[in-house]
A and B are shown apart, each in its own frame.
Chain A
Amino acid sequence: MSDTKRIFIKGNEAMSRGALAAGCTCYFGYPITPQNDIPEFLSTEMATVDGEFVQAESEVAAANMLLGAAAGGARAMTTSSSPGVSLMQEAISYMAGSELPGVIVNVNRGGPGLGDIGSSQGDYFQSTRGGGHGDYRTLVLAPGTCQEGYDMMIEAFDLAFKYRNPVLVLADAIVGQMKEPVTPWEPKAADNHGAEDWRIDGAKGRKKRLLKSLFLEDGALAGQNRNLQSKYEAMQVEARADVFECDDADLVIVAFGSIGRIVKSTVRRLRSEGKKVGLVRPLTLYPFPSEVLRDLAKKGKRFLTIEQNCGQMVDDVRLSVRGIADSEFHGHMPGDLPGSDDFLAPIIKHLED
């Protein structure tokens, strides 16, 4: 890594810069708070890399522009926030079905419906369960700091091409809107993992190519779904988590994104008081770092899942430790901004239970 200087920027800008560093050349988006800094920043920056910036007429169109650019083998992305990401699900499903790579950032805000523009983790199910129609999965990365926002964008583009699949970066309003020092870095030359062998760019000197998700012949769709499922199986090696103070912990907290970060402060404070608490902060939400949790469960740890929603990731925690342990749940309602103090009482209660 070269000795690049640290810069003090918002998470939204960090993700934008990460995308540029990853070699993104096509951006499509539609305004929605709290992610507007991204299209605003890229509306000028894209021109400096000879890239394309389109403010689409809707999120529906933005996601389909992404589909088109992806079919051409371009490093392309779109960004939005919850209601907008709901509109993108049709295209995301088609991209998964046609095996097209693309990056979608969701700066998660409160819901359901119009909700509010504050931070929330209410889109966990939508992100990790496919979100649109059909049996598909998207890789999901969850930054909890501005630096992770930068780093994960670089990773997201690489994974998208490695697996020819949409990759979601599930940030939230806190991570998007806070400012922190970030150390930008330039990855090695972008690896498109052989995109020239499948993308469409004119059939000169070769047979024509077709990118589609319609499979009508007898058994063809079953075959495609089997392919996709084995791909999702192969993705499991990408699961990652930040494991903090878990070795001697009695109680392991599981929390992701900004909330994981806030809970980390709570855990530090409780540790300074001699309380045996640890934290697992999943960095990938799909694939979910189940092995990490299962290993801890085998060591007899108890679990408490904390999320800024009404209970979603807790399902994955329970599935991870099933047959060995269970997880309690503490939900902090979307629409209310938590501090590390807010998690003291629930953690102590479960520690002493």
Chain B
Amino acid sequence: MSEKLVFDAPEIMVDRPTHYCPGCHHGVAHRLVGEVLTEMGLVDDTLCVGSIGCSVFIYNYLDVDAVEAPHGRAPAVATGLKRAHKDKFVFTYQGDGDLASIGLAEIVHAANRGEKISVVFVNNTVYGMTGGQMAPTTLVGQKTTTSPNGRSAEEHGLAIRMSEIIGGLGGTAYCERVSLDSVKNIRRAKKALRKAFEMQINGTGFGFVEMLSACPTNWKMDPIAANTRITEEMIPYFPLGVFKDVTKDGEE
């Protein structure tokens, strides 16, 4: 019997097991980035800026040139890299601790300058790699190792909504929040990536895609429950949608 291959990983994905926990969405996000880069023919022209967090090893899974940035500084590193190689495709891949806490200044200013780079922002509402501490995106009431009684608005402030901030900046060309909790949403996420990447390729400007993602390990949930948490708790607070698209008059 001859077998017909109907689904395979794009060649850009290095064939090796990842170090991510079962049910972690970093793997899904990597895969989407890999598919879009392949479909857009960008593999040989891509420069990846890795960041600090569970995803620091993205360069082990994608077969593209890469550099490692200090914690939070990926948008500044990408700025320098893109200025040195204007004809290449430059993207950063950052977690919420990385982008919304220590690297808040770098992301806001790179977006505001309209750097022609693309940013993949994986928001799992927690510091994954360091063992589940509170992140700027941790939801009120969410228990973490440094907010053991649950995040309190009075003590810690509210969770930061990054897409709302980035979408409001002058230099942003495209900004969308997507979610990785369902097949439908994963498809949308891929479309968003493609849009954001196109904005860099055709010189329109800065592209930003926030992906609501699961961290089953630090949420102390099984993968199914973690998925449900995204649907039921995260999406209501972090609404999905396009926050800026300079190629359109209004929002979607």
With A61-B106, A201-B65 already in contact, the answer to whether A90 and B70 are too (CB < 8 A) is yes
Q: Are A52 and B83 in contact, with the CB atoms below 8 A? A: yes
Q: Smallest Cβ distance from B162 to chain A, in angstroms?
A: 17
Answer whether residue B204 sits at the interface, using C-beta atoms and an 8 A cutoff.
Answer: no
**Number of A residues contacting the other chain (C-beta, 8 Å)?**
40
With A90-B70, A201-B85 already in contact, the answer to whether A68 and B79 are too (CB < 8 A) is yes
Q: Are B106 and A200 in contact, with the CB atoms below 8 A? A: no
> Which chain B residues border A64 with CB–CB below 8 Å?
69-70, 73, 76-77, 80, 106
Q: Are B80 and A68 in contact, with the CB atoms below 8 A? A: yes
Answer whether residue B193 sits at the interface, using C-beta atoms and an 8 A cutoff.
Answer: no
Q: Smallest Cβ distance from B81 to chain A, in angstroms?
A: 4
**Interface 9-residue window, one of B1-9, B41-49, B195-203:** B41-49
Answer whether residue A60 sits at the interface, using C-beta atoms and an 8 A cutoff.
Answer: yes
Give B72-89 interface residues, CB cut-off 8 Å to A: 73, 76-85, 88
Set B66, B73, B108: member contacting A211, Cβ < 8 A? B66
The chain B residue with its CB closest to the CB of A66 is B80
Separation of A58 and B83 alpha carbons in the complex (Å): 17
With A26-B83, A52-B84, A72-B47 already in contact, the answer to whether A65 and B76 are too (CB < 8 A) is yes
> Which chain B residues border A65 with CB–CB below 8 Å?
76-77, 79-80, 83
Answer whether residue B68 sits at the interface, using C-beta atoms and an 8 A cutoff.
Answer: yes
Answer whether residue B161 sits at the interface, using C-beta atoms and an 8 A cutoff.
Answer: no
Separation of A211 and B65 alpha carbons in the complex (Å): 8
Q: Are B80 and A72 in contact, with the CB atoms below 8 A? A: yes
Interface string of A63-91 (1 = CB under 8 A from B): 01111111111101000000000000011
Q: Are B67 and A212 in contact, with the CB atoms below 8 A? A: yes
**Interface 9-residue window, one of A106-114, A151-159, A202-210, A303-311:** A202-210
> Which chain B residues border A94 with CB–CB below 8 Å?
68-70
Q: Are B78 and A68 in contact, with the CB atoms below 8 A? A: yes
Answer whether residue A213 sits at the interface, using C-beta atoms and an 8 A cutoff.
Answer: yes
Answer whether residue A336 sits at the interface, using C-beta atoms and an 8 A cutoff.
Answer: no
Separation of A203 and B85 alpha carbons in the complex (Å): 13
> Which chain B residues border A25 with CB–CB below 8 Å?
84
**Interface 9-residue window, one of B24-32, B56-64, B136-144, B244-252:** B56-64
Q: Are A212 and B47 in contact, with the CB atoms below 8 A? A: no
Q: Are B65 and A209 in contact, with the CB atoms below 8 A? A: yes
Q: Are A201 and B88 in contact, with the CB atoms below 8 A? A: yes
Interface string of A172-214 (1 = CB under 8 A from B): 0000000000000000000000000000111111001111111
With A52-B83, A76-B80 already in contact, the answer to whether A67 and B65 are too (CB < 8 A) is no
Q: Are B65 and A28 in contact, with the CB atoms below 8 A? A: no
The chain A residue with its CB closest to the CB of B87 is A202
The chain A residue with its CB closest to the CB of B49 is A68
Answer whether residue B229 sits at the interface, using C-beta atoms and an 8 A cutoff.
Answer: no
Interface string of B104-139 (1 = CB under 8 A from A): 011011000100000000000000000000000000
Q: Are B80 and A28 in contact, with the CB atoms below 8 A? A: yes
Answer whether residue A54 sits at the interface, using C-beta atoms and an 8 A cutoff.
Answer: yes
Interface string of B141-179 (1 = CB under 8 A from A): 000000000000000000000000000000000000000
Q: Are A67 and B77 in contact, with the CB atoms below 8 A? A: yes
Q: Are B76 and A60 in contact, with the CB atoms below 8 A? A: yes
> Which chain B residues border A60 with CB–CB below 8 Å?
73, 76, 105-106
Separation of A20 and B207 alpha carbons in the complex (Å): 33
Q: Are A57 and B106 in contact, with the CB atoms below 8 A? A: yes
The chain A residue with its CB closest to the CB of B64 is A208
> Which chain B residues border A203 with CB–CB below 8 Å?
43-44, 63-65
Answer whether residue A98 sits at the interface, using C-beta atoms and an 8 A cutoff.
Answer: yes
> Which chain B residues border A209 with CB–CB below 8 Å?
65-66
Answer whether residue A351 sits at the interface, using C-beta atoms and an 8 A cutoff.
Answer: no
Separation of A211 and B80 alpha carbons in the complex (Å): 14
Separation of A69 and B90 alpha carbons in the complex (Å): 12
Separation of A91 and B69 alpha carbons in the complex (Å): 9
Separation of A76 and B80 alpha carbons in the complex (Å): 9
Q: Smallest Cβ distance from A207 to chain B, in angstroms?
A: 9
> Which chain A residues border B63 with CB–CB below 8 Å?
203, 208
Answer whether residue A243 sits at the interface, using C-beta atoms and an 8 A cutoff.
Answer: no
The chain A residue with its CB closest to the CB of B112 is A57
Answer whether residue A325 sits at the interface, using C-beta atoms and an 8 A cutoff.
Answer: no
With A60-B76, A69-B81 already in contact, the answer to whether A211 and B106 are too (CB < 8 A) is no
Set A71, A90, A205: member contacting B67, Cβ < 8 A? A71
> Which chain A residues border B78 with CB–CB below 8 Å?
68
Answer whether residue A344 sits at the interface, using C-beta atoms and an 8 A cutoff.
Answer: no
Separation of A91 and B79 alpha carbons in the complex (Å): 14
The chain A residue with its CB closest to the CB of B57 is A214
Set B46, B77, B84, B108: member contacting A26, Cβ < 8 A? B84
Set A26, A58, A201, A208: member contacting B80, Cβ < 8 A? A26
> Which chain A residues border B81 with CB–CB below 8 Å?
68-69, 71-72, 200
Apart from A60-B106, A67-B70: 16 A-B pairs, beta carbons within 8 A: A54-B113, A61-B109, A64-B106, A65-B80, A67-B77, A68-B69, A68-B80, A69-B80, A72-B81, A91-B73, A201-B85, A203-B64, A203-B65, A210-B65, A210-B67, A212-B68
Closest 5 CB pairs of A and B: A68-B80, A72-B84, A65-B80, A64-B76, A200-B65
* A–B pairs, 6, beta carbons within 8 Å: A66-B80, A68-B83, A90-B70, A202-B88, A203-B65, A213-B68
Residues of A within 8 A of B (CB): 25-26, 28, 52, 54, 56-58, 60-62, 64-74, 76, 90-91, 94, 98, 200-205, 208-214
